[in-house]
C-alpha cells in the first residue's frame, strides 16, 4: 500500500490534528502529515504543527464568511498536490468547500463532525443534541461534498448523553470519541481497506 500523505485544513485549536499527529508518531509509519493550512492567522493548529516541525501556513480566505474564495481554494489544492498529498483531512475547518479542492481530490477529502449524522449538521451540534433531549449522540467521519456536513458517511462513534450534562461536558466527551475515531478511519485508508457504512463502522464509545 502506498503511503498516505495528509494535507490538513483547520481553523481552531487543532485538537483533532494533535490526536492524529500523536497517533502517527506512536503507531503508524504508513501515514505522514505534509502540510497544514489555516484560514485563521493565529489558529492554534498552526502553532501545534510548527512545534512538531510540520510545514504550516495561513492563507487569507477572502471576502466570504462561510466559504473560501475560489482562487484560494485552488491555491490550497495546488499546494497540497505539490506536497504529494493524497488524503485531505478537515480538522475543525469552519468553511464549506465549493469545488476546486473537491475536484482535485475526488473521494479523498474527509471531515469529522460532532453528531451522529445526518442528525444535527452545522454549528455546535452537541448543543443541538442536548437541546433536543437526545440520550445518545456522537461523532461522524464523512466524505466532504459542497453541502454542510452532507457527504457520504464513513464511520461514526456513539457517546451517551447524561442528565447532568452541560454543553461543555458533552462536547468534551464527543471530542474524546473523535480523537479515537478519526485516526481509525485514516488507518483504514492506509491499509487500503474497502468499507461500507454498516453496524461494523458504528462504534460505541463508553464515554
Residues 97 and 158 in one domain: no
Cell numbers representing residue 71 in the block: 482562487
pLDDT at res. 49: 98
Length of the chain (residues): 207
Handedness of CA 183, 198, 88, 168 (dihedral sign): negative
Q: In which domain, by residue range, is 52 found?
A: 1-106
- How does residue 195 score in pLDDT terms, banded at 50, 70 and 90? low
Residues 82 and 121 in one domain: no
CATH number assigned to the domain comprising residue 177: 3.40.50.170
Residues 127 and 70 in one domain: no
Residues 1 and 101 in one domain: yes
The answer to whether 113 is a known catalytic residue is: yes
- How does residue 198 score in pLDDT terms, banded at 50, 70 and 90? low
Handedness of CA 117, 90, 189, 53 (dihedral sign): negative
Residues 29 and 117 in one domain: no
Residues 5 and 82 in one domain: yes
Residues 132 and 66 in one domain: no
Among 106, 127, 155, give the residue marking a domain's end: 106
| pLDDT over 50 (residue 207) | no
Residues 45 and 86 in one domain: yes
Residues 1 and 102 in one domain: yes
| pLDDT over 70 (residue 196) | no
Q: What is the mean pLDDT of the chain?
A: 92
DSSP 176-197: HHHHHHHHHHHHHHHHT-----
pLDDT at res. 29: 85
Handedness of CA 167, 172, 175, 177 (dihedral sign): negative
**What are the phi and psi torsion angles at 139 (to 5°)?**
-145, 160
Interval 159-192: pLDDT, tens? 999 999 999 999 999 999 999 999 999 999 998 8
- How does residue 18 score in pLDDT terms, banded at 50, 70 and 90? very high
Among 69, 86, 106, give the residue marking a domain's end: 106
When divided into structural domains, the chain yields a total of 2
Residues 116 and 183 in one domain: yes
pLDDT at res. 203: 55
Could you tell me whether strands 136-143 and 153-160 are parallel, antiparallel, or unpaired per DSSP bridges?
A: antiparallel
pLDDT at res. 206: 44
Nearest to 155 by CA among 171, 172, 138: 138
Interval 93-137: pLDDT, tens? 999 999 999 999 999 999 999 999 999 999 999 999 999 999 999
pLDDT at res. 1: 52
Amino acid at each position: 500500500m502506498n503511503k498516505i500523505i495528509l494535507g490538513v485544513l483547520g481553523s481552531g485549536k487543532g485538537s483533532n490534528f494533535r490526536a492524529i499527529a500523536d497517533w502517527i508518531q506512536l503507531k503508524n509509519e504508513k501515514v505522514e502529515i505534509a502540510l497544514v493550512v489555516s484560514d485563521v492567522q493565529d489558529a492554534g493548529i498552526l502553532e501545534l504543527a510548527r512545534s512538531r516541525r510540520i510545514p504550516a501556513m495561513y492563507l487569507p480566505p477572502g471576502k466570504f464568511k462561510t466559504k473560501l474564495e475560489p482562487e484560494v481554494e485552488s491555491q490550497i489544492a495546488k499546494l497540497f498536490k505539490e506536497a504529494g498529498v493524497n488524503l485531505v483531512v478537515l480538522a475543525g475547518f469552519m468553511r464549506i468547500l465549493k469545488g476546486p479542492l473537491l475536484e482535485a481530490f475526488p473521494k479523498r477529502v474527509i471531515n469529522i463532525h460532532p453528531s451522529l449524522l445526518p442528525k444535527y449538521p452545522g454549528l455546535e451540534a452537541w448543543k443541538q443534541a442536548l437541546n433536543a433531549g437526545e440520550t445518545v449522540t456522537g461523532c461522524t467521519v464523512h466524505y466532504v461534498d459542497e453541502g454542510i456536513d452532507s457527504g457520504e458517511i464513513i464511520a461514526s462513534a456513539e457517546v451517551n448523553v447524561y442528565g447532568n450534562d452541560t454543553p461543555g461536558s458533552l462536547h468534551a466527551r464527543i471530542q474524546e470519541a473523535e480523537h479515537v475515531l478519526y485516526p481509525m478511519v485514516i488507518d483504514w485508508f492506509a491499509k487500503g481497506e474497502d468499507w461500507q457504512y454498516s453496524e461494523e463502522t458504528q462504534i460505541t464509545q463508553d464515554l
